[in-house]
Amino acid sequence: MNLALLKSNSASAAAITARERLSRMRTETAKADSRELLEFAIRREFPGRIAVISSFAAESVVLLHQVAEIDPETPVLFLNTGKLFGETLRYRDRLQEALGLTDIRCIGPHPADRDKFDPKGDLWNRDPDACCNFRKTVPLKKALAGFEAILTGRKKFQTEERAAMQPIELLDGRFRFNPLANWNLAELQDYIAGHRLPAHPLAEDGFLSIGCMPCTRRLNPGENYRDGRWAGYDKRECGIHFGMDGEGI
């Protein structure tokens, strides 16, 4: 048997094992709430091998608060694209202090990639997908090396595509937990108020879904949650969360 075939068989066996593990985890956590799912992921299933992906946006504090109560040393990966609102950067620092998070890792695009793909800094206006790719997707892929699982703050109500997500998913051999998948906006806002958590300063100024400054605007009356992101473009995702159990969303 040649080497290529051996590698192919090994990869297939690993995929089957991952699928079986996914099925088991879904069964064991079928009735778990967000905190129970986080306990399961952080303490039992992937201790020391799981990270949070957080944008430190409007509702990020809910997930970060629950993670910090379980294990404040859980790595938090924060993408500083170089295009963020100053309010978001200051909010990140405030939450680190308020929640006691000890391992926030700020990652961003390589300087050589900025020089190559966006020397004038206006790629967001010409090709937002390409801008998101080198500023977010590529750096995050590198930062995730060594982690077997990730935690995200994605919710079903955010977009039509996300409505089909599961609390636990499998993507490219890595497990993805979405503890807040079934929460709605009112529940998130009530949690923030009820626990007296710091609010993102832009949330009270008409921003709900907050990303990079050039690609985020206030919502107008009657608009949906994510209509303020990439307004005028047929775009709902930056790219870092594409894929659901191997399928594009």
Question: Span 116-127, mean pLDDT?
Answer: 92
Q: How far apart are CA 66 and CA 208, in angstroms?
A: 21
Cβ of 93: how many Cβ atoms within 10 Å?
11
- The mean pLDDT of the chain is 85
The domain segmentation of the chain, as residue ranges, is 1-31, 33-215
**Residue whose pair of structure tokens reads 């982690």 in the numeric block:** 147
> Which DSSP category does 176 fall into?
E
118-138: average pLDDT? 90
Active-site residue among 131, 132, 212, 238?
238
**Amino acid occupying residue 182:** N
Q: 79 pairs with which residues across the strands?
A: 107
CATH topology (fold) of 33-215: Rossmann fold (3.40.50)
90: pLDDT strictly greater than 50: yes
| CA–CA distance, 4 with 126 (Å, rounded to integer) | 41
Is residue 160 scored above 90 in pLDDT? no
pLDDT tens digits, residue range 143-152? 999 999 999 9
Pick the residue with more confidence: 207 or 4?
A: 207
> Is 238 one of the catalytic residues?
yes
The per-residue pLDDT for range 166-221, each reduced to its tens digit, is 999 998 889 999 999 999 999 999 999 999 999 999 987 878 778 888 888 777 77
In the predicted structure, residue 3 carries a pLDDT above the cut 80: no
35-85 pLDDT, tens per residue? 999 999 999 999 999 999 999 998 899 999 999 999 999 999 999 999 999
134 pLDDT more than 60:
yes
Return the pLDDT at 65.
Answer: 98
12 pLDDT higher than 70: no
State percent of the chain over pLDDT 70: 82
Residues of the chain above pLDDT 90, percent: 63
The kind and range of the H/E element at 104 are: strand 104-107
